[in-house]
Amino acid sequence: MKTNKKIDVHHHIVPKEYVEMLKEININHSLGVDFPKWDPESSFSFMKKVGIEKAIVSITSPGVYFKENLEFSIKISRWCNGYMAKLKKKYPEKFGAFACVPLGFIKASIDELKYALDDLKLEGVCLMTHYDGIYLGDEKYDKFFEELNKRKAVVYIHPTDPADEYDPKLQEEGIPNSLIEVTFDTTRMAANMLHKGTFEKYKNIKFILSHGGGTIPYLGWRLAMISYSQKGKRTPVMKALYDFLIKGAPEKGLKRLKNMYYDTALTSGAYALNTLNQFVGASRILYGSDFAMAKVAPIVAKNLDKHPEFSSEDHEKIDYRNYQELFGQ
C-alpha cells in the first residue's frame, strides 16, 4: 500500500564540499562506489516519486573519522553537522538530520555530540559500525555511550568498510563492499554489542540498524546465544536452562536484538521482508530508502509498497507511525 507520508530514516546526502574535502586525503568513493552527484533538488524529486514526506539525512561511509588526523576529523564533522542544520532550517518540513561524530576520538566526539544535539537541534546521531576495527560495544566508547544514554538518544548505525580486506579482488572485479560486506559488518557489530553487554549497560539508547539489520533476522537465533557468554558476566544457570529447555530459544539474546529498530533500506523481496517481519514485527521496522547512494532505491520502494504480507496498518507503522512513536512526534 503506497502512502505519501513516509518518513525516510536512511537518506544520505553527498554535498560537493564534503566530497572535495575527502579528495584532500585521497578518498574518492564510499564502500567501493563512486560518490553520486547530489543536491537538495535531487532529494525532493526522489521523495516526490516514492511518497516520502520527510527525510532524516545522514553522512554515509567513510563518515568523518580519519585515523591520525584529529584536526581534519573535527573540521569535517563540524562542517557536515552545520550543513545539515542549515538544510533542516531551510526546509523544516522536508528534512531532519542525524549528527556525525569522529568516534575514534572520544573527547572530540562528545563535544561534537553536545553541539549537534543542543545547539543545532539535530534528531540523533549516526555512528559507523566500527572505528579502526574497534566495534561499538568496546569499552573504549563507554564515556560516549554514557552521554547518549543520559540523553535517551536515538542512534542510527550504518555499516562501513571492514577493517580487514576479506577478498580485495572482489572490489577490483566489480563487487563492492556496498553490495555484500555491509550486511556482514552490521552483524559483526551486533555480535560485538551482545558479547560486551552494551544493551544492558545503556538501556535508554534507541538503536536503528541499517539494511534490515544485515543478516541479523536470519542469524538471530545463533547470534542470541552470544549473550549467554558475555565478557566478564555469566548468565545464571537456571535462567539459561529456562530459556533453552522451557522456551526452546536463547530468549535473553533475542530480546536484546528484537528491541532495536530495523530500516528497510535495500531490503527487498518476499524472502527478506518476510524474515524481517517474522523476526521483529512491523512495530520495529522503519522506512529507509538508501537514497542517494542506491540507484535501485525507487525499485526497492515500489516492492515494499506492494508487499502483500504487510497489512494497511503495517504499512502505516513502517512508513511513519513508528518514527512518530520513536521520536515522540
Q: Where along the chain do its domains lie?
A: 6-327
For the chain, give the mean pLDDT.
Answer: 92
For residues 141 and 139, what is the distance between their CA atoms, to the nearest angstrom?
5
**What per-residue confidence (pLDDT) applies to 170?**
66
* CB 125 within 8 Å of CB 59: no
* CB 180 within 8 Å of CB 162: no
pLDDT (tens digit per residue) in 70-127: 999 999 999 999 999 999 999 999 999 999 999 999 999 999 999 999 999 999 999 9
Query: What fold characterizes domain 6-327?
Result: TIM Barrel (3.20.20)
* CB 182 within 8 Å of CB 31: yes
- CB count within 10 Å of CB 61 equals 21
Above 70 in pLDDT, residue 136? yes
**What per-residue confidence (pLDDT) applies to 228?**
74
- Tracing cell 533542516 back to the chain, one arrives at 88
Above 70 in pLDDT, residue 241? no
**What per-residue confidence (pLDDT) applies to 171?**
62
For residues 100 and 117, what is the distance between their CA atoms, to the nearest angstrom?
11
Residues 6+ apart with CB under 8 A from 34: 28
For residues 44 and 38, what is the distance between their CA atoms, to the nearest angstrom?
11
Q: Please list the residues that pair with 7 across neighbouring strands.
A: 54
**What per-residue confidence (pLDDT) applies to 9?**
98
Alpha helices by DSSP H, listed for the chain, are 16-23, 40-50, 70-90, 106-114, 142-151, 168-172, 181-196, 198-201, 216-224, 237-241, 251-258, 270-280, 297-305, 312-316, 322-327
Above 90 in pLDDT, residue 296? yes
